[in-house]
Amino acid sequence: MPVAPEVSAVLEMCYKKVGLFGKTFMPSTFNTPWSELHHEVINLLDSDEQKIVIAAPRNLGKTSFAKALCISGILFRDYEFITYISQSLESHALMQTENIKRELLSNQEIRRVFGSVRVAEEDTGLDESFSKHAWVAFGHTLVLPRGANQQVRGLLFDNYRPQLIIVDDLEDKRELENPENRRKLKDWFYADLMQCMDRYSNKWKVIYIDTLKHSESLMQELLSSSEWASLRLEICGDDYESKVPYLKTTEELKREAAEARKNGTLDIFYMEMRNIPIAKENQSFRLEYFQQYSETDLRNNKVVESIVIVDPAKTVQIQNADTAIVGVGVDYASGTIYFRDCVSGKMYPEQIYEEMFAMALRLNSHVIGIEVTGLEEFIKQPIMNEMQRRGPRYSFEIVWLKARGGDPGGEKGKLKRIGALVPYYRQGFIRHNPTCCGKLESQLLAFPRTGLVDVADAFAYTIEMLELGGRYFTSPQPTPTEDGNEVDEFAELEYDNPLEYSRLI
């Protein structure tokens, strides 16, 4: 039957354009505007990449895109064999292939343009154990749901092996806690699933869509692989500003994050909203170590000494990489370190000067520590000139920090510095300002597998700053009695050869 020119034009526009196809033929499913995150997903799915992995936050429509890909591939006769894989055959994979079938049979727009869709469960050509839930559309395309670790190798339909493989929600969060389960799933994925297509043909595509649930998960491995085209998306950044406001507003995200922090479930929030996996058995920094304080209570505290630490990007083209500037307060009497302020991002040199001087004035700090490893000639002279130019108000004491240990300017050196903070957190010496600690906490929670460590590394220089300044925590003051006398808690103890008191951290 001839196709009207206007219909032909629509079909041509929608062919291999999953976003446009979804909006045109599945408007009840794709009934919200596209955000920038959606466009990133669409662009990758429309590309010629054969191995695609997408870590997307909850409720972004990952399964809807998978559904549209399958339906488009069936209607345009792009594939003869589609396999839909999930962690469980019965709970997810089967349900999604049934949803695809229902859409093909009931969608009036699809029926009007493509005609009546014939779907049959018989004559799949597969063994009975496989064909139980399989079905064929138009007598042309087999759709087969499978669960994780089920047999997929050796499958044939009319001499065709699986061509479009959709992997949706493959990994179970509870199962991932067991290293043996992680190993078994990876073995099945690489040895079975990735070997089931016809490697002599170029007509195949594997699309893995899920949330990132563990730092050593299969998805994390694929995201890090140069063999896979990848996206890791998050619905908000460290400031909880929403990237998809109609889905989750900034106010909702901030409220949910605060509630999760109070309930001890911040790891779930990071995982589902930001695709930052937190494997508790591997964590150096844990949620329960993070304690907060109110900046208004600290502002008039005269015993707290404030310092500013600058960790500039390690490149001559400073604006091309991330710089971190943090404000730190130290109460030596109580043994408390306060993470007070933070500015980070890509900055030009003049922006670095402006931000660090402004923070020093804001926190009433007289000392600025600046990491200069490998950048001495590009950092020292310009900063001293800028401070002189600004006048007496900007006469700060500058401490030039040089990274210590092996590989001081490299990744290993950073990890050593950040790792030195662990005992301070474990002993409860550190407090966070809740208005600016998001990036620090996300980097510490993912340590040592975090990608960006700029803020955590800058904060870690606090230890070196205290050492260079000869600053140590003092012992607690004696407790006064009701009559005003001081209680000596150690008066009854006897000492041999008493030593002169030394201040220790």
Q: Which domains does the chain have, with CATH numbers?
A: 5-232 (3.40.50.300), 237-281 (no CATH), 283-468 (3.30.420.280)
**Other Cβ atoms within 10 Å of 103 Cβ, number:** 19
Q: Give whichever of 111-125, 277-291, 292-306, 436-450 has the largest mean pLDDT.
A: 292-306
The residue count for the chain: 505
pLDDT tens-digit map of 138-165: 888 999 999 998 988 888 888 899 999 9
Residue 451 clears pLDDT 90, i.e. is over it:
no
Residue 252 clears pLDDT 90, i.e. is over it:
yes
pLDDT at 503: 36
**Other Cβ atoms within 10 Å of 104 Cβ, number:** 23
pLDDT at 424: 94
pLDDT at 492: 46
DSSP class of residue 275?
Answer: -
152-180 burial string, b = 16+ CB within 10 Å, else e? beebebeebbbbbbbbbbbbeeebbeeee
> Tokens 């890090």 belong to which residue?
224
Tell me the H-state helices in 391-471.
Answer: 411-419, 422-426, 438-446, 454-468
pLDDT tens-digit map of 176-202: 878 889 899 999 999 999 999 998 888
pLDDT tens-digit map of 359-414: 999 999 999 999 987 666 677 888 999 898 998 889 899 999 887 654 545 567 78
Contact 243, 235 (CB under 8 A): yes
CA dist 245 and 232 (Å) reads: 19
pLDDT at 3: 67
CA dist 472 and 332 (Å) reads: 7
State both tokens at 240. Answer: 């909880």
CA dist 481 and 485 (Å) reads: 5
Burial of 11 (0-12, 13-18, 19+ CB in 10 A): middle
Phi (first) and psi of residue 380, to 5 degrees: -60, -55
Percent of the chain with pLDDT over 90: 50
pLDDT at 499: 35
Contact 143, 66 (CB under 8 A): no
Mean per-residue pLDDT over the chain, rounded:
85
pLDDT at 171: 93
Q: At a CB cut-off of 8 Å and minimum separation 6, what does 45 contact?
A: 18, 52, 65, 69, 207
pLDDT at 130: 57
pLDDT at 495: 40
> Tokens 């993070």 belong to which residue?
290
Q: Does the predicted TM-score (pTM) go above 0.85?
A: no
Percent of the chain with pLDDT over 70: 85
pLDDT at 475: 58
CA dist 368 and 400 (Å) reads: 9
Q: At a CB cut-off of 8 Å and minimum separation 6, what does 118 contact?
A: 137, 138, 139
Q: How confident is the model at residue 497 (pLDDT cuts 50, 70, 90)?
A: very low
Q: Quick one: which of 66, 58, 56, 62 has its CA closest to 99?
A: 66
Q: Quick one: which of 360, 417, 364, 363 has its CA closest to 386?
A: 360
Q: How confident is the model at residue 89 (pLDDT cuts 50, 70, 90)?
A: low
Higher pLDDT, 325 or 345: 325
Q: How confident is the model at residue 30 (pLDDT cuts 50, 70, 90)?
A: very high
